[in-house]
Amino acid sequence: MAEKKQKKANIQFLNQELKRIATIIADNDRQAAFLIEETKKEALNALIPINSERRMLKLLAKQVKKLPVTGKENLLRERSLESLKKVGKQGRLLLVLHYYKGYSMQKCARIIGCSEKEGKQMLMSTLMQWKSGQTRADLQHLKQQLRTELDYIVVEESSEVKRPFQLKRLAPIITFFMFFLIGGAGSQALKAEAEVSPGIDIMEIYKESTRMEETYDEINEAITTAGYKDVYFSVDREAEYAYLSIEGKDNEDKQEEIISFVDEEMQERSLDYFMETNFYIPDEGTDMEEVEVDEETAISEEISEKLTEALSDQIMDQFVVNEELYLLGISWTADAWYIEIPEEIKKAEAISRHILDEYEDKRRLVIEEYSYNDYEKSFRWGNVIDYINTALNSSEKYTFKELIANPEDGVMKFEVKLYLFKTDKDADSIAREIVRSITRFLETSEIKEITEDDPYEIIVKDNSNKVIKTD
């Protein structure tokens, strides 16, 4: 019975998130309706039930690519997010995934259906479009604006065909509705034993994940042993998807054979995931001397190379850099240069200005700074945060909304948001259980080795974004 209630609550949550996100991505009501209905339709036809947010978002991303051209009515005019007018639909989805949902760029790229490098390039371009749409607004302000807007958007169905979904602010009537949907009498079923329960064993999820990573390595090793080259296997556990990439003309006639082989390897290891396959023949390469580019582009590319070389030297001098970290971003438009670089590189602006002066380049220079220490800390904590997120999603004692984890002043701050009301009888005990579960996990020797024993802080918030006391 409890499992049935949890599945129902999970479906309600996924539908709610689908409507909220589709509404902010779409230009108008009709586009939002298209995204929602087509995503639901594909979810119903899926071989594996759609029961995770990431799988739902992956289906939504596919619908964004095939949005039809519709009327000019633009919902963004009615919102505070005026700056999003200049951002394309895929860009809006990327902003929501990365800054609202907190997915890494690798996961964002997988959801959208592109490489991680392409995802990072899209993010840089999107950020420029986003900031150009709103003057005197820094990135932190825009991120907060996005979170606030999505937190307080509720999309309701309407009987009108032309406006099937309407934006409304959370008001007492919505609170009343949500009370009966996920709270009210249902909150009495939130288990009373939470007061004494030690909570979810997140370490077990960590150990299982480690075992599964070994399993994936075994499959890749089996692929190599079988003599297949340029074949790559990976898994997105949360989205319950396996990915098989087959490259090269030599593999063109072996596709079915390779797919069958990998499928058997998965079955032997009881990996019951839907496998998405991709075959492509890499470009043989184009002789750059034969590619005609205009003079302005050629000069910009030359300047970009010089900036990259000079600023990379500064970064390498300052830090012992993990090669997986993406530390320097350089892009340009017709009227400006945009450079994203750690704030610790004090000479970045002077070096960049000197190079631009050499070319008598009059474009604006915009330096976007971020904290290397915070960035590196977020990278180290990445998988640890994923384990916590997975654990909270798996609980049957409450409906989990989202987890936000960001380093602030050297402290990793966790914000756990639940679909609970402060008046709910068990809110305090559930919040304490969550804090206990996360703390117990973070204090293990295995996790301390990963996080380097960084200090952390955990707070739990209710449906109104109010902190639930856990002292």
Structure-block tokens of residue 456: 């952390």
Structure-block tokens of residue 418: 């639940």
Q: What is the pLDDT of residue 3?
A: 52
Euclidean distance between the first and the last CA atom of the chain, given in angstroms as a whole number: 32
Name the band, by pLDDT with cuts 50, 70 and 90, for residue 126. confident
Q: What is the pLDDT of residue 220?
A: 94
Q: What is the mean pLDDT of the chain?
A: 78
Distance (Å, rounded) from C-alpha 331 to C-alpha 359? 16
Q: How large is the C-alpha radius of gyration of the chain?
A: 24
Q: Does domain 2-169 have CATH number 1.20.140.160?
A: yes
Residues 103, 92, 334: CA angle, nearest 5 degrees: 115
Mean pLDDT of 163-180: 33
Q: What is the pLDDT of residue 293?
A: 64
Chain centroid to CA 302: 33
The string of DSSP letters for 255-310 reads HHHHHHHHHHHHHHTT---EEEEEEE-------GGG----HHHHHHHHHHHHHHHH
- Beta-bridged to residue 417, according to DSSP, are 402, 461
Contact between 424 and 467 (Cβ < 8 Å): no
Q: What is the pLDDT of residue 101?
A: 81
Lowest mean per-residue pLDDT among 138-142, 377-381, 400-404: 138-142
Structure-block tokens of residue 155: 């999309």
Closest CA to 435 of 419, 410, 414, 421: 414
Give yes or no for residue 172 having a pLDDT over 50: no
Give yes or no for residue 193 having a pLDDT over 60: no
Distance (Å, rounded) from C-alpha 2 to C-alpha 120? 41
Q: Does domain 204-280 have CATH number 3.30.870?
A: no
Name the band, by pLDDT with cuts 50, 70 and 90, for residue 284. low
Enter the pTM of the model.
Answer: 0.56
The hierarchical CATH code for the domain 375-468 is: 3.30.300
Q: What is the pLDDT of residue 171?
A: 34
40-95 residue pLDDT tens:
887 776 655 566 777 788 888 888 888 765 544 444 444 446 667 778 888 889 98
Between 329 and 424, where is the model more confident? 329
Q: What is the H or E stretch that residue 243 is in?
A: strand 241-247
Q: What is the pLDDT of residue 282?
A: 72
Q: What is the pLDDT of residue 83?
A: 67
Sheet holding 329-332, edge to edge: 329-332, 336-342, 364-370
Q: Does domain 293-374 have CATH number 2.30.29?
A: no
SS3 of 349, please? helix
Q: Hunting for tokens 């079923």 — which residue is that?
A: 189
142-170 residue pLDDT tens:
777 777 777 666 544 433 333 233 333 33
Sheet holding 456-461, edge to edge: 400-408, 411-418, 456-461, 467-468
SS3 of 104, please? coil
Structure-block tokens of residue 77: 């005019």
Distance (Å, rounded) from C-alpha 249 to C-alpha 280? 8
Indicate where the chain has its CATH 3.30.1340 domain(s). Answer: 204-280
Name the band, by pLDDT with cuts 50, 70 and 90, for residue 195. very low
290-300 residue pLDDT tens:
556 678 888 99
Indicate where the chain has its CATH 3.30.300 domain(s). Answer: 375-468
Q: What is the H or E stretch that residue 77 is in?
A: none
The size of the chain, in residues, is: 471
Q: What is the pLDDT of residue 78?
A: 47
Name the band, by pLDDT with cuts 50, 70 and 90, for residue 365. very high
Distance (Å, rounded) from C-alpha 127 to C-alpha 186? 42
Q: What single-letter amino acid sits at 135?
A: T
Give yes or no for residue 112 having a pLDDT over 80: yes
Name the band, by pLDDT with cuts 50, 70 and 90, for residue 121. confident
13-35: b or e for each residue (b if 16 or more CB lie within 10 Å)?
bbbbbbbbbbbbbbbbbbbbbbb
Residues 306, 312, 313: CA angle, nearest 5 degrees: 95
Between 440 and 31, where is the model more confident? 440
Give yes or no for residue 277 having a pLDDT over 80: yes
Residues 327, 380, 217: CA angle, nearest 5 degrees: 100
Lowest mean per-residue pLDDT among 116-130, 171-185, 204-218, 429-443: 171-185
Distance (Å, rounded) from C-alpha 359 to C-alpha 244? 46
Distance (Å, rounded) from C-alpha 25 to C-alpha 39? 14
303-356 residue pLDDT tens:
999 999 999 999 988 887 777 787 898 989 888 999 999 999 989 999 999 999
Closest CA to 388 of 430, 437, 431, 452: 437
Mean pLDDT of 96-117: 81
Closest CA to 400 of 379, 414, 412, 381: 414
Phi-psi region of 284 (alpha: psi -120 to 50; beta: other; left: phi over 0): alpha
Between 251 and 177, where is the model more confident? 251
Name the band, by pLDDT with cuts 50, 70 and 90, for residue 107. confident
Q: What is the pLDDT of residue 187?
A: 40
Phi-psi region of 414 (alpha: psi -120 to 50; beta: other; left: phi over 0): beta
Give yes or no for residue 19 having a pLDDT over 80: yes
SS3 of 405, please? strand
Q: What is the pLDDT of residue 53?
A: 78
Contact between 465 and 417 (Cβ < 8 Å): yes
Indicate where the chain has its CATH 1.20.140.160 domain(s). Answer: 2-169
